[in-house]
Structure 1
Amino acid sequence: MHRGRMEGCTTFMSDYVPYNVVKRPPRKQEEYKPKPGKIDLGTTYQRDYNAHETGPLILARPLERKHTTGGKMDTIPTYRDDYRLWKIKRREPCTTERVYQPPTEKFGNPTTFQDCYSPKELNPTQSFKPIWVAKPPDVPFDGVTSHRTDYTVHQLEPKFLRPKEKYKPSEKPFEDLTTHRSDFKGIPGQTAKSCKPGNVKVGSNARFNGLTEFQDRYQPWPVSLPEVHKTREYVPPTGKMDLNSTNHLDYIAHKISPALPIRPVEERRISDPFQGTTTTKDDFRPWRICRREMTKKEQEIEKPTGKFCDLTTFRSHYIPHQAMPAKSCKPVCAIDPNSAPFQDKTTYRTEYIPKKKTTCPASLDLPPGYVYEYTDSDGHQFFHQSTPEHSVSNSNPPPKQVAVVS
């Protein structure tokens, strides 16, 4: 092996020439110039919107109707009354059991691959790689490019800085009056009375004198504390410790030469045809495999032959005791029922006004106040209003055009 010292100088370190790098000049920012004139802040909504006066919303909730009858409901459905179960027998499977039987004759038919395949000699492929003709230059590389030779450095102008505008608070006072504060008017009424019962103390100050079975039959016995095992104090060995091992004393170093690469011998190509018969195929005979029986462990305890006595330890030693009924700690109901009738009058019942129901003009063959105009391809009949006075006199004015399905 080469025992000389390796030089730390590479081709890159010996041939590289550093160059002075100039910082790229930043791009000049254009000065902001505001547009002359005044901005029109008027929108289409502000010009074309017409405000309308709106009144409070009137509830149109109908009266509650209860559809109840005094008769008893028959809860037997049609499915339970008319359905009858059929007696269907289970179908037997139509499949037949087939037991596998291995063939007795030897399989000697050659395959298509064995009949048609013939080994061929491998010809080495011709390389189309061009021969290395280029010669490296002997002159060191000059880092001069067209960008470095033709680039001209321009002097930058000072950056334009926009002055910050000072915050000016508004001189007008803030109006905190909302629509709810200005238009809301509370409805006078009585405050609701609480139906919650008064807070009554639950429980009693008497001492509990109950005697349990555990207190009556439990007999305490003295228990001794477990012994505490004391650990022995560590006593270090006397004398000096010999740290020499058998490997350290008896090992002899040997001078070993570096291992040589062992290349495999070139394999000889066999020109004879491959025979697909082996000793396993000729001599191997498949065995008939039967299902292995389940191994059961012999019972060590003999089964009893006599009659089973169902008398348990609990039944033989249990002594019944007379149970005392537990006292109820539930407080007495101190709320007296009110004899006055319940007032079920609400604001909805007193102030609700039902509206008059009107029939739709499209449900009639000839709506009053309309004249038939035409019928489209889908079968819809269209009518138009005959006289304008009819819409003024009626409380519910009909629409200008009605479509009726014939």
Structure 2
Amino acid sequence: MKRKCICDICNCGHHRCSHQPTGLYEKSNQPCVLTEYNEKYPGYGAFLPPSTMKPKQEYQTDRGRMDGTTTFKADYIPYEVSRRPVHLQEEYKPGSGHIDLGTTYKLDYNPYKVQPFAPARPRERTHATGGKLDTLPTYKDDFRAWEFSKRELTKPDLSYHPSSSKFGNNTTFQDDYCPKGLVPRESFKPSNMAKLSNSPFDSLTNNRISYIPHPLEAKFVKPKDEYKPSSQPFEDLTIHRRDFKGLSGELSKSCKPDFSRAATDATFNGSTEFRDRFQQWPVTLPHVHKSPEYVTPQGHMDLSTTSHGDFIKHQINPFVPIRPISRGRKSSAPFQGNTTMKEDFRTWDVRKQNMIKIQEEMAKPTGKFDGLSTFKAHYTPHEIHPSQSCKPLNIALKSSAPFDDGTMYRTEFTPKKPVLCPASFDNPPGYVFEELDQRGHKYYRKMSTPAGSKIAITNGMHATKEVAVMS
């Protein structure tokens, strides 16, 4: 009988085995090619990608001669520009009269005589005695030093003596360690072998056998209290209205002056209180300190210094160089100043290159600019014909005929039975679990059942054999 995996049993394409190897120490060079991608997307032949229609970015050469004359250069006419007039500030003229320096603080403030502050703290009294202070403290008077004898050391004598030979000292590990042979450990890991059973799985659990459904009691619902309005009328009298009694008195009058708009035809002369009453005070210039004039001293100035007076001149022989005296060869022939550079090089007459200026083809206008541009001169107005809107009018269509609710879905729809995927159950109906390989695939063996029989499913549904084995 042929075995089938969950990947082969599934007919909806949503169930796959976990492709994770369970053998930790098994090495196999055969890859697992059973994937959902290889089943749904088969391989096709070699096809070239579609050619792009995007134009190539190539450099476009000059198609004609470029004229450097622009509309601004052709139509621009410079005008004479005059300077902006400067506003001259008027000279200040102080007003005549006396300024009153009195303030509200000087008029309303009344000075008072203030007495000095008397402290409430009592004066400190020092109690001084004429006796002599005894400087002997209690510690020195009561403490008496004891005589202690030196304790003997309890440290044992060192019995270790280093060895005199080279590399003769053994370590603690070498003295205490005893080499032992390798003892193989016993493995307690169970063998990875699937236990096969010939009897079919009855899917009976303790919960299904021992569970007894008990009826639930009715839930107690507390009835809501009905709202009963009060029969007495509502009194809007508050404590403030009942207990408050206003004091009798006159209403406060506003001290704000009446608003009267002053309307006059006289022109404002620009005089203010500051200009009328300001008195210019004389200001003295700051005192400038004059430096005294330099007076040259009279008599002869002695320019002799200490170095000139105390310096003694010594006779020193000139330095004799160790280098031998060079005896140059003298020649009576005149010096020839010709060189290879002077003979082969000839200076050229170099002139400054004239500026290359392109002659303008269009002559500049000489008259005044009349304000007529190229657009206004060559523009031809055309009549505008508005486009006709094809949008239907937003008016509801009314009809006395009954609404036909027949649709294509209602007339052509054919209901079909829901197909259950056998791989959606924990144990596919009609198959018996056989083994689990090292790559994680679960293999099932098909059961031989008589024709027309029904197979029980774990969720309580019954399906025929044809539906369960459909692929």
Return the index of the structure with the highest Cα Rg.
2
Q: Which has the higher contact order (CA 8 A, sep 6+)?
A: 2
TM-score normalised by L of structure 1: 0.20
